[in-house]
Amino acid sequence: MKKKLLLEISVEAVEAAAAAERGGADRVELCSDLSVGGLTPDAALRRALRQQIQIPIFVMIRPRPGDFVYSSAEFAQMKKSIAAAKDSGAAGLVFGILKRNRTVDIDRTGELVELAQPLPVTFHRAFDACPDLSQALEDVVRSGAPRILTSGGAGSALEGADNIAMLVTAAGERITIVPGACINAENILQLAAATRAREFHSGLSSVLLWQQTDYVKFEKEVRAMVERLSSLSPE
C-alpha cells in the first residue's frame, strides 16, 4: 500500500508552527530569517516550539545567508548547532554544504550526517545551486542524507516539475525527494501528479507575506493543502 502523502511547513515563529499543526501539517521546518532562505534558529525558539506543538520539528542548520560554501569556523559552528538541536528535542535536521565549484561537499555533509545520528537529515535547497542535478543526487546519496529538498533547480517547484520527476525516478527507494518553493493549495495537486513525489514542503510565501501575522489565514492555507493531498492518499 502506498504511504500517506506528507506536508512539511517552514516556520520562524511559535504561532505559525501552532497554526501549521492545527491545519494538519505532518511536520515543521524551524528556521530564523525565512526571508533569506532560513538560518539556524536560536535555542529559546527551539525550546518554545517543542513545548507548544506535538508534530515533528526539523531544525535548519545554516550559519549565515548567502552561498553554501563554509569556512572551517562556520563548519565548526554547524557542528555545535547540530548538537544543540539534538539536545532540544529536534526530530530531524536540515542542512547542505557545497564546494566552491557548486558541487555537493560529500565529505563534510557526510560528517554532519553522521553527527546528526540517529536523526534524519534533509539536504536543503543548496542542492538547486548545483550545475548537474543528476550528479548532485548521487552525491547526496553517498553522503548518507535520506532526503533532498528541491525546486528542480528552478524558481518554483512547479517550474522545475520535470526535473523533480526525473529526480524522483532516479532516486527510487534510495532517498526521498521533497519538492519545495512556491507550493500552495492552488498548485499542490498539479505538482503531485507531475512529480509523483510523496512529501511536499511549503512556506506559503507565494500566498502570505514573510512577516505575516494572520495565523488564521496561515492555518486555513495549510488545511487546504492537507485536504488536497488527502484526496490522493490511501484511506
How many structural domains comprise the chain? 1
Length of the chain: 235
Query: Would you call 10 helix, strand, or coil by DSSP?
Result: strand
Q: What is the CATH number of the domain that holds 201?
A: 3.20.20.380
Local confidence band at 135 (pLDDT 50, 70, 90 cut-offs): very high
Local confidence band at 1 (pLDDT 50, 70, 90 cut-offs): very low
Sign of the CA dihedral with 18 first, then 221, 167, and 150 last: negative
Within 13 Å of residue 185, how many CA atoms lie on the same side as its CB?
Answer: 18
- 9, pLDDT greater than 60: yes
Tens digit of each residue's pLDDT (9 = 90 or more) over 155-195: 999 999 999 999 999 999 999 999 999 999 999 999 999 99
Tens digit of each residue's pLDDT (9 = 90 or more) over 67-121: 999 999 999 999 999 999 999 999 999 999 999 999 999 999 999 999 999 999 9
First-residue to last-residue Cα distance in the chain: 10
Q: Vertex 6, ends 106 and 158: CA angle to 5°?
A: 75
In a domain? residue 138: no
Which range marks the domain in which residue 42 is found?
A: 6-119+181-230
In a domain? residue 215: yes
The secondary structure of 46-80 as a DSSP string is HHHHHHH--S-EEEE--SSSS-S---HHHHHHHHH
In a domain? residue 167: no
Local confidence band at 2 (pLDDT 50, 70, 90 cut-offs): low
Respond yes or no on whether the N-terminal peptide bond of residue 118 is cis (omega within 30° of 0). Answer: yes
In a domain? residue 235: no
In a domain? residue 129: no
Tens digit of each residue's pLDDT (9 = 90 or more) over 13-69: 999 999 999 999 999 999 999 888 899 999 999 999 999 999 999 999 999 999 999
Neighbours of 198 (CB within 10 A): 18
- The identity of residue 227, as a single letter, is E
Using an 8 Å Cβ cutoff, are 168 and 185 in contact?
A: no
